[in-house]
Amino acid sequence: MDKPKILVLCTGNSCRSHMAEGFLKMKVGDLYDVQSAGAKPSGYVHPVAQKVMSEIGVDLTGHESKHLDEFLEDEVETVITVCDNAEGCCPTFKGEKNHFCWTFDDPADAEGSDEEVEQEFRRIRDQICDQFEDYAERLRKS
């Protein structure tokens, strides 16, 4: 039997959605098929997102930036948008039973030194992990 699909969406599918996807896969990947996509995919996964996620044991090196249209024919049980733009242009997916909008600042907009940019990515990573840890706990109990 196929696992229920959770789709995490943002605009560029380069940072926030991949951080959320990687973290959630680590927490519930045995129970759910967790994927991510973007409304306007950037075509890459941000290297600083990869770095800060690796610091907590989440490997994003195999991730690819994808367009949300790739999932329109799939049965998607849960859609989670992590930015307002994606929420505003999000279609309804076949089989969608749950929809959440949890907005996070875009760390790709961070400016400053390399260390300051990395600190912003860590701040967003920690917010995402806190939100998705609570969600993963609810999923494991259901």
Catalytically annotated residue among 10, 15, 89, 101: 10
101 tagged catalytic: no
Chain-centroid distance of CA 12 in Å reads: 11
10 tagged catalytic: yes
CA dihedral in degrees (123, 125, 128, 130; nearest 10)?
Answer: -70
Give whole-number Cα distances, 142 to 33, 49, 76, 92, in Å.
Answer: 16, 30, 18, 24
Give whole-number Cα distances, 94 to 27, 113, 128, in Å.
Answer: 25, 44, 26
Instruction: Enumerate the active-site residues.
Output: 10, 83, 90
